[in-house]
């Protein structure tokens, strides 16, 4: 019995339809990342959660410094009562990102009792898991402001809401990604990572806490 093959035109239509569908999905992700970058939640919150970034020795990188400064401004203007710093020790570093951020905030008038800090997480998802663990003893379900770069907001908010956090966006008002090329590269990168996260979410169950084996490493 002969096997009937699809005509070339039908294969072409299927390929065009698939390409169009992928284009729509990619366009939707880019639009979601772009729109989320322009929204900053009004009102006050219990705490600002600062998502980690690179450090240079004992100094925050320019990207991380913008996040820390924004959280400090939120505290000094009374919009939050606490700041949560996250981020562990990256390869090649000797200090945790969160510890460098905490020291920076101490030097700019934030009292130690107004800060929570953990030095173990390495990814955005782990940052948020660690923040949830640190805030676990707080009464009720505290409202949080997520502090990061504007183009990072869409992915961070999606993860925070999956973890049951009452999180609202507080993107940095300034960013190191000012050139058209660097902003486009960051936009496409975040769109890809958001798509990968959303695609994996139905099939991969993330850990319920960080770290899974015990207490959070302290900031030093």
pLDDT digit string, tens, across residues 137-168? 676 678 999 999 998 999 999 999 988 899 99
H or E element, residue 50: strand 45-50
User: Cα(52)–Cα(12) distance, rounded to whole angstroms?
Assistant: 46
Residue 75 · residue 45 · CB < 8 Å: no
Q: Is the peptide bond before 148 cis (omega within 30 degrees of 0)?
A: no
Decide if 161 is inside a domain.
yes
Decide if 10 is inside a domain.
no
Decide if 138 is inside a domain.
yes
Strand partners of residue 147: 50
Decide if 150 is inside a domain.
yes
What are the counts of helices (DSSP H) followed by strands (DSSP E) for the chain? 6, 7
Number of domains the chain contains = 1
Q: pLDDT digit string (tens) for 114-139?
A: 999 999 888 999 999 999 988 876 76
Q: Is 117 helix (H, G, I), strand (E, B) or coil?
A: strand
Decide if 183 is inside a domain.
yes
User: Cα(196)–Cα(102) distance, rounded to whole angstroms?
Assistant: 32
Decide if 220 is inside a domain.
no
Decide if 57 is inside a domain.
yes
Decide if 216 is inside a domain.
no
Residue 220's pLDDT band, with cuts at 50, 70 and 90, is low
Residue 212's pLDDT band, with cuts at 50, 70 and 90, is low
Domain of 42? 36-200
User: Cα(117)–Cα(123) distance, rounded to whole angstroms?
Assistant: 15
Q: What CATH number corresponds to the domain at position 67?
A: 3.40.50.620
Q: Is the peptide bond before 95 cis (omega within 30 degrees of 0)?
A: no
Residue 74 · residue 80 · CB < 8 Å: yes
On the question of pLDDT at 10 being above 80, the answer is no
């Amino acid at each position: 019995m002969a096997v009937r093959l699809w005509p070339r035109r039908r294969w072409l239509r299927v390929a065009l339809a698939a390409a169009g569908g992928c284009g729509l999905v990619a366009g939707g992700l880019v639009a979601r990342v772009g729109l989320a970058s322009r929204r900053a939640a009004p009102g006050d919150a219990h705490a600002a959660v600062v998502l980690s970034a690179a450090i240079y020795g004992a100094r925050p990188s320019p990207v991380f410094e913008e996040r820390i400064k924004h959280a400090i401004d939120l505290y000094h203007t009374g919009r939050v009562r606490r700041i949560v710093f996250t981020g562990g020790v990256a390869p090649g570093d000797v200090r945790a990102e969160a510890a460098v951020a905490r020291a920076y905030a101490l030097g700019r008038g934030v009292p130690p009792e107004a800060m929570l800090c953990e030095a173990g997480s390495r990814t955005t998802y782990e940052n948020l898991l660690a923040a949830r663990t640190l805030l676990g003893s707080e009464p009720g379900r505290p409202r949080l402001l997520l502090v990061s770069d504007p183009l990072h907001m869409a992915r961070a908010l999606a993860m925070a809401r999956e973890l049951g956090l009452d999180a609202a966006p507080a993107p940095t008002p300034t960013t190191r990604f000012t050139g058209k090329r660097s902003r486009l590269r960051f936009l496409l990168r975040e769109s890809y990572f958001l798509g990968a996260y959303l695609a994996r979410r139905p099939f991969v169950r993330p850990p319920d806490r960080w770290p899974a084996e015990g207490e959070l490493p302290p900031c030093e």
